[in-house]
Amino acid sequence: MVSLTADLSPLSPDRNLALELVRATEAAAIRAVPFIGRGAKEAADGAAVDAMRAFLGTVDFDGRVVIGEGEKDNAPMLFNGEHVGSGSGTGPQCDIAVDPIDGTSLTAAGRQNALSVIAVSDRGTMLDASSVFYMDKLVTGPAGVGVVDIRLPVAENIKRLAGALGKPVEEIVVSVLNRPRHEQLIQEIRDAGAGTRLMSDGDVAGGINAARHGARTDMCIGVGGSPEGIVTACAIKALGGHIQGRLWPRDDDERQRGIDAGLDMDKVYEADDLVSGNNTIFVATGVTDGQLVAGVRRDGDYLYTESVVLRSASGTLRRVASEHLVSKWL
C-alpha cells in the first residue's frame, strides 16, 4: 500500500496528485457552464459528473469514493464505494469525497458560490456518514481552536470568538444556511449583537470562508449536509481552523440507520473524527463567482477558471488560474 505520506520530497506524488485533481474539478465546472441560470440543476449535475469521472480516470491514484453522488443524486457514476483512478497500481491509495457541483440549485439559478469539489485523504481515514444526511456544524478559523464549542450557546461562542479575534461582537459575521430550521438560530445570532450572512446553498464555501484568513465571515454554523461536513473538514485541516459536527437525523428510522452503520448520534465529532490524520487535500474550482473563487468565464476563444488547492501536510492554500482554448471543449 502506498500512503499519501510516503514521500514529502519536492517530487512527492502527494503534491502532484493535488494539482492533477484540479484538472477534474476544472472539467466539471466547465461542463456545467451551459446550464448556469437555465433552471436545469439535474442536467448541470449530470454533465459535471460525467466530466469529473472521465478526468479522474486519468489520474495516477487508487481513489475509493467514500462520499459520492450515487445515494444523494441517483447518479450512475461516482457512487459510494466506487474506485476511481488510472488503475496503474503505482499511485497512492486514498479515500475520496466528490461533489461535481456543490450548489446545483445555485448553478440552475445563476447565483454565486457554486463550486466543483474534490477532497482526498489517506485510505481509511475519512468518516463515512452517508447513512445520516444532515449534520449540525460549527466552523471558525484558527482563533476558534480551543475557544468555541458547539455544545455552548451561540451567543457565548460569538462572545468568545470576538475576544480571541480582538474585535467587538458587533463586528462578528456568522454564515448560516437560510432555512426555516434556522429561524431561531439566526435570531439568536442577531440578539447577541453579531451580523449574519445568509447562504441559499453551498455551505462548503461558507465553512472555508469562515476559516480563511482575511475573509469576510468569522464563523459558519447550522445544519447542512453530512457529506459537506466531511469535505469541509479536509479543507479546515489545511487552514488550521476549527470544525465540529453533530449528526442530525431527520427521524427515528434515520437515527437507527446511523446507529446500525456504527455512527454515534450523540457524539461531537471533532476534526480528527471527521478525517483522521494530517494529510488531506482539498481542491475546488468555481462554477459561478463567489468569495472563495471566481466562476468560469468565457472571453472569445478562451475559457478562464480559478481554483484553490489546500494541503494540510504543508498548510498551504494555492490559487490556480487557468486559460483553456474553447475549441478543445467543443
The binding site consists of 45, 69, 99, 102-104, 134, 179-181, 201-203, 225, 228
The total number of residues written for the chain in this structure: 330
Q: What are the residues facing 94 on neighbouring strands?
A: 63, 122
- Write out the binding residues for Mn(2+): 45, 69, 99, 102, 228
Inter-residue contact 242 to 270 (CB < 8 Å): no
**Long-range contacts of the stretch 317-320 (C-beta < 8 A, 24+):** 317/212, 317/238, 317/239, 319/293, 320/19, 320/22
Q: Answer yes or no: are the C-beta atoms of 194 and 91 closer than 8 Å.
A: no
Contact, 201 vs 287, CB < 8 A?
Answer: no
Confirm if 295 and 114 have CB atoms less than 8 A apart: yes
- Measure CA 217 to chain center: 16
Annotated binding-site ranges for substrate: 102-104, 134, 179-181, 201-203, 225
